[in-house]
Amino acid sequence: LEDNRGLVVVLFCLPASFIFDVCLRFRNWVIRYLFSAPHQHNERVRTIQAAVRKWNDLPTENRRPMCTSRPNWLSLSTTFFQKKDCHQITVSLFDILNLDEENMIVKVEPMVSVRDVTDYLITRGYALAVTLEIGDATCGGLAMAVGMTTYSHKVGLYQEAVVSYDVVTADGSLIHVERDNEHEDLFSCLPWSHGTLGFLVALELKIIKVKPYIHLQYIPVKGKKNYCDKMRLLSGALDKLATTPDYLEATVFSKDEAVIMVGNFSYADKPGEMGKVNNVARWYKPWFYKHVETFLRTGGGDEYIPLQQYLLRHNRAIFWVVEAMIPFGNHPIFRALLGWLCPPKPAFLKFTTTPGVRAMTFTRQVFQDIVLPMTVLEKSIDIAEDLFDTYPILIYPCRIYDHGVNSGQLRPPREDQMCPGANYGMFYDLGVYGVPGKVKRKERYDSVKAMRSMESFIRQHGGYSFLYADIFMTKEEFHEMFDLTLYEQCRVKYGAVGAFPHLYDKVKPEINVFEVGRTWAETN
């Protein structure tokens, strides 16, 4: 199976995933068109409150910690949190509630997907300030976890674009949480809390004005120091007054070669511009990163990409993950005939994951997004190569604000990581996805050891692991990476202790990492 994985995927997995997706879309359509009722929001929230109060009435020994009933396979997280051990509360809220164009705020229910809100906003000339590249991510999931995108060097993490959260707490009360109201502490701790402080039932998000196209320039750069320096310069990490492009990202193809992409909003309405429109997301087009790679040879170029296609540019190849599943997937004939079947849906892949497959993805693949300060960009590329040896690597910058005592689980950036004169430091997302070189070459690869070395580097430099991916830390190491002081206070103040799992227990892999590591050491 492993040797002919591509054929297996194409003959079985893609068609099945397609049917699965059609069913899922039909289900969503039914939910949306038959049950969509923004005006019933309050009523629906009252039902959730009632369910939580009912849990409170149970005898103490029967009260298992609560979580939402959204099946784990629908979540984009690579871990499989065991919901069956929890008391599940149905939070079925999927409507867009209100668009306030004057204050540039959209109010949504938590299960509205990025794709749905983007469709809704773009036709009106707006987009979320932080629009994730993955259409299936949900507005609520991103708010309770973390979101970061190629616009983040301007606005920071997804949480910076949240104006308010409506939360049902452990005792069933509904509270409105804002930065400057009496629930400021909770406002700081809800991001990165993964649903361990309360149920989110609505949120208000900042939006930005957009134009229909992105003018994207591809800049190939040779030499690690050169592309790292250029990213620091373009992101505004060195000077808070620098004019920065709207979108900024780099794809690193080897230690010495990267293509930097600089994009600005545009109308693409001038004659010369219209000829340069490229519909990169169409099914027959080359995978986006392959297209980007061609600029290493041609010396660069620029084009106009319809905004929606730009935002979902990495969707069809799930960055570059699909290549490991379908090695011939980018062949022109394959694309022309079957390209529309890609990508296999993450929900389908998760739905059909057996323990064996899970163990394999856990030990033979790497799937990590990591937040690190721009000051260690070069070092992080070296370390990623040493430990994982897989390219391409994704890089895009993001502001991390110093909110002082209200920084929540993140620590304020260190002095040398701050942008001079600003109240933020410039960090970046290091995205490492794929099959490690050692696994490809059929050499021995110790995933636990490699990941633990990576995490040690992250902690040393005040960075953070995204918690949707597998973590390999002990509880003590987790506490070192995240500042849980205010979080623990909120757990007590808002009655979450005993009512919701603890953050570490919620996000740690359901597999015993240390056991896997020990077994590996014994058998090799």
Ligand X SMILES: *[C@@H]1O[C@H](CO)[C@@H](O)[C@H](O)[C@H]1NC(C)=O
Ligand Y SMILES: Cc1cc2nc3c(=O)[nH]c(=O)nc-3n(C[C@H](O)[C@H](O)[C@H](O)COP(=O)(O)OP(=O)(O)OC[C@H]3O[C@@H](n4cnc5c(N)ncnc54)[C@H](O)[C@@H]3O)c2cc1C
Rule CB under 6 A: which residues touch ligand Y? 68, 75-77, 91, 110, 132-134, 137-138, 140-142, 144-148, 194-195, 199-200, 318-319, 346, 369, 429, 431, 468
How many amino acids of this chain bind ligand X (CB under 6 A)?
A: 7
DSSP state string for 8-47: HIIIIIHHHHHHHHHHHHHHHHHHHHHH--GGGHHHHHHH
Q: Which is nearer to ligand X, 218 or 428 (CB)?
A: 218
Name the burial class of residue 128, with classes exposed (0-12), middle (13-18) and buried (19+) by CB atoms within 10 angstroms of its CB.
buried
What is the closest distance, in whole angstroms, from the C-beta atom of residue 484 to ligand X in the complex?
Answer: 39
Q: Which is nearer to ligand X, 273 or 483 (CB)?
A: 273
What is the closest distance, in whole angstroms, from the C-beta atom of residue 264 to ligand X in the complex?
Answer: 4
Decide if 156 contacts 148 (C-beta within 8 A). no
Decide if 400 contacts 371 (C-beta within 8 A). yes
Note the residue count of the chain.
524
Choice from 70, 107, 154, 215 touching ligand X (CB under 6 A): 215
Q: Which is nearer to ligand Y, 139 or 268 (CB)?
A: 139
What is the closest distance, in whole angstroms, from the C-beta atom of residue 338 to ligand X in the complex?
Answer: 33
3-state SS, residue 266: strand
Q: Which is nearer to ligand Y, 91 or 400 (CB)?
A: 91
* Residue 397 binding target from ligand Y, ligand X, none, CB below 5 to 8 Å by type: none
User: DSSP label at 314?
Assistant: T
* Residue 426 binding target from ligand Y, ligand X, none, CB below 5 to 8 Å by type: none
- Taking the chain, what is the end-to-end CA distance rounded to the nearest angstrom? 24
Choice from 140, 198, 220, 245 touching ligand X (CB under 6 A): 245
> Is 241 near ligand X (CB under 6 A)?
no
Q: Which is nearer to ligand Y, 147 or 245 (CB)?
A: 147
* Residue among 326, 380, 408 nearest 160 (CA): 408
What is the closest distance, in whole angstroms, from the C-beta atom of residue 265 to ligand X in the complex?
Answer: 9
Please name every residue paired with 159 in a beta bridge, in sequence order, or none if there are none.
none
> Is 298 near ligand X (CB under 6 A)?
no
What is the closest distance, in whole angstroms, from the C-beta atom of residue 155 to ligand Y in the complex?
Answer: 13
* Residue 55 binding target from ligand Y, ligand X, none, CB below 5 to 8 Å by type: none
What is the closest distance, in whole angstroms, from the C-beta atom of residue 266 to ligand X in the complex?
Answer: 7
Amino acid, res. 27: R
Whether omega before 343 lies within 30 degrees of 0, making that bond cis, reads: yes
Show the 3-state SS of 135-175.
Answer: CCCEHHHHHHCCCCCCCHHHHCCHHHHEEEEEEECCCCCEE
Please name every residue paired with 98 in a beta bridge, in sequence order, or none if there are none.
107
Decide if 26 contacts 18 (C-beta within 8 A). no
* Long-range Cβ pairs for the range 10-19 (8 Å, 24+): 10/326, 10/338, 13/325, 13/344, 13/348, 14/326, 14/338, 14/341, 14/342, 14/344, 15/341, 16/348, 16/352, 17/341, 17/344, 17/345, 17/348, 17/349, 18/341
Q: At what angle do helices 447-460 and 377-387 cross, to 10 degrees?
A: 170
> Is 217 near ligand X (CB under 6 A)?
yes
What is the closest distance, in whole angstroms, from the C-beta atom of residue 93 to ligand Y in the complex?
Answer: 7
* Residue 145 binding target from ligand X, ligand Y, none, CB below 5 to 8 Å by type: ligand Y
> Is 264 near ligand X (CB under 6 A)?
yes
* Residue 215 binding target from ligand Y, ligand X, none, CB below 5 to 8 Å by type: ligand X
What is the closest distance, in whole angstroms, from the C-beta atom of residue 259 to ligand X in the complex?
Answer: 13
In the block, residue with structure tokens 């690690």:
224
- Binding to ligand X in span 300-359, by CB under 6 A: 302
Q: Could you tell me what percentage of the chain is helix, strand and coil, using 3-state DSSP and rounding each to the nearest 5?
A: 40, 20, 35
Q: Which is nearer to ligand Y, 247 or 319 (CB)?
A: 319
Residue facing ligand Y at closest CB distance: 141
* Residue 503 binding target from ligand X, ligand Y, none, CB below 5 to 8 Å by type: none
> Is 236 near ligand X (CB under 6 A)?
no
**Sheet harboring 424-434: ordered strands across?**
301-306, 213-222, 257-266, 247-254, 393-401, 424-434, 366-373, 464-465
Q: Which is nearer to ligand Y, 120 or 520 (CB)?
A: 120
Element (H, E) at 215: strand 213-222
What is the closest distance, in whole angstroms, from the C-beta atom of residue 263 to ligand X in the complex?
Answer: 6
Q: Which is nearer to ligand X, 268 or 469 (CB)?
A: 268
Choice from 60, 103, 123, 243 touching ligand X (CB under 6 A): 243
* Residue 374 binding target from ligand Y, ligand X, none, CB below 5 to 8 Å by type: none
* Residue 243 binding target from ligand X, ligand Y, none, CB below 5 to 8 Å by type: ligand X
Site residues (CB under 6 A) for ligand X? 215, 217, 243, 245, 262, 264, 302
